[in-house]
Structure 1
Amino acid sequence: MPPVTKRVRENTDTDLKSAQKADSLSPSLLQLLDKRLKEQTDLIATKMEECENRLCDLLAEKIGTLTGQIKQLSDRVEFLEKELGEARGITQRVADLEAKLSHKLSVQENANIACDLRIHGVPFVEGEKLKHIFNTLCFNLNLTPAPTIKDIYRMGKGRNQPQSIVDPVIIVKLDHLRDKAALLRAIGTLRRETQQTLTLQQLGLDSPAPVYVNEQLTKENYLVFREAMKLKKARKLTAVFTRRGVVHVRASQNGEIIVLENMNHLSMIPTCSFRHQEGEQQ
């Protein structure tokens, strides 16, 4: 059996030989590993490039499809905008025509009642003679001869009309506008001279109850007049009166006279607070 020292030396020589052998194989092994690694890297790069190309082609196809759809939508939006513009133009023209037609109808309606008067406060009596009552009024106002009457009647006094505790107004249709103006002027003169309102006594009836004679108004103008009078009572308008069937107002004491053609005009008037002067014209 060889000595221990000899065995250790022999083993050491063997290890050194194995290490030298491993060192002699390392470069070729490394080259092989590098080659295999490069092959794998090139393969991965090729696969990734192929994937990128497929993705780019797919995205390009999708973008092309979306571009076509966007172009179609853009054309449709442009068409709809054009149609909308034309529709708005037509709507505006229709609104303008409706406004013109409404104005013409209002003017015509006012012209139809331009010579008409309303008399409030005359009690209804069976068999009454309205023409005689009107002629008595004109006589007491020194309007002789009395204006020619085309028609005179009580408004809404028929068999099918509902009963009311308020006596229906009397409508007087005169031949000429100047006759209506003359009658209203005479009533105004009477009020200024006597400092009293018109009463049933001026109509030949034995009563001191007041009577009111005003211009006949269209339904819309009457509503405007009623709302304007509410504003006057609330001290937001200084004057409210009618002329030729149209409502006129004054917002301030020295302000200009404003013509109200409809309810919208009334809502746009700047109102103010003030104290009424006694005897302000209504």
Structure 2
Amino acid sequence: MFHSPNKNSSSIPDLSTLKKMEEELNITQRKRKLSEDHTEALDRFADKVMTTLSNWKAEISRENSVINDNMKTFKHDLENIDKKFEDLKTDIHIIREEYSDIRKLIHTLDSKHIEMQTEICSMQKSIQFCSDQQDDVNKQVESISKEIKEIESVKGQLDELRKQNRQLRHELNMNDQRDRLLNLEIVGVPELRDENLLDIMSQLSKKVGVDIAATDVIQINRVSPKTKQQGRPRIIIVKMKTRLLKDNILSCARKLRLTTKDLDFRGEPKPVYINEHLTVSNKMLLKKCKELASLKHYQFVWSRHGRIFIRKNETAPGLQISSEEDLKKIT
């Protein structure tokens, strides 16, 4: 910066005035010769002026130096500003590019947002549809649950009825079998015209070693099976007077292997069997026992007084089979 000269100094700020004063001094010197005192005063004045000028010049130089330094600093600052401005321009360019990318991204996001809204709307419709279906399913489930409860109730009643039915059938079978306690069943005796079944029974009893009288037989007749088999004679059912007599004939017959030859029938001998007269249910149960006993290697299967028994060997205990559930005992 430029500073004004000190007001107390003897310097003359206007250089043209100083030059004019020097010329006047020279003119005066040419006109007349000054005295020594005036010359010395003038010299001192000139020295002061020169000193003032020198000081002023030095001060101006210092101020110029400061100004130059300030200018250099200012120039350096301007260069820094220019550099920063360039950096700022670069940053602005980058920001513009990023802004452009952001706008594109926003546009893409807007598009995706629209698509997402569409999908959400579709999903909401689907969810509502599923919810409606779920409501229908719930109603159906409630209806089915009620029906299941009713079915379970009916099933319980049906199970109870089945249980009662089994019990009744078992009791009927026992009653039916009880009615047959005096009966014998003779299988394999050929049928003849005008045959005398009482004579055949008397001949069979003699063959097994049991003598019977005509009065020991209450009833005797042939019975047709439900399913008639071609070539097989009908079964003879004999009702004896006492169970003891029936049991004796049955016990002795099981020790023998009777054939048609023992009854004086001609032709090839065929086996004749004397069995207890079992009910249809007991016959089926006895048949299943024999089949299962053969698979499980049981040696003995028999019936006594209408009850069925099975035994694995001579030393094993006998098992009574009263129903098909008891077949599980055969292991």
> After TM superposition, is the score higher than 0.5?
yes
Q: Give the number of aligned pairs.
A: 236
Q: Please tell me whether residue 261 in structure 1 is matched to residue 327 in structure 2.
A: no
**Partner residue of 1:167?**
233
Give matches, 1:207-226, under 5 Å. 211-226=272-287
Render the CA deviation track for 1:64-106: whole Å, top value 9, x for unaligned: 3323322332342343244335435534643553354245235
Q: Provide the aligned C-alpha RMSD in A.
A: 4.8
**Partner residue of 1:122?**
189
Q: 80, 83, 89: which is aligned to 2:147? A: 83
> Which amino acid in 2 is paired with 1:155?
V
Q: 267, 270, 278: which is aligned to 2:330? A: 270
Paired with 2:205 and 2:135, the residues of 1 have a C-alpha distance of: 82
Q: Runs of 5+ in structure 1 lacking a partner?
A: 1-18, 272-282
Q: Runs of 5+ in structure 2 lacking a partner?
A: 1-81
Identity %, equivalent residues: 20
Give the structure-2-normalised TM-score.
0.51
Give the structure-1-normalised TM-score.
0.58
Paired with 2:295 and 2:109, the residues of 1 have a C-alpha distance of: 92
The higher radius of gyration belongs to 2
Q: Is the 8 A contact 1:247 1:260 kept in 2?
A: yes
Q: Which has the higher contact order (CA 8 A, sep 6+)?
A: 1
Q: Is the 8 A contact 2:307 2:320 kept in 1?
A: no
Render the CA deviation track for 1:23-80: whole Å, top value 9, x for unaligned: 7xx69x8699589859947963883596255554553443233233223323423432
Q: Please tell me whether residue 249 in structure 1 is matched to residue 315 in structure 2.
A: no
Paired with 1:183 and 1:40, the residues of 2 have a C-alpha distance of: 114
Q: Please tell me whether residue 47 in structure 1 is matched to residue 97 in structure 2.
A: no
**Partner residue of 2:248?**
185
More helix as a share of residues: 2
> Would the alpha carbon gap of residues 104 and 243 (structure 1) be closer, same or farther in structure 2, given more than 3 Å must change?
farther
> Which amino acid in 2 is paired with 1:98?
R
Paired with 2:320 and 2:244, the residues of 1 have a C-alpha distance of: 20
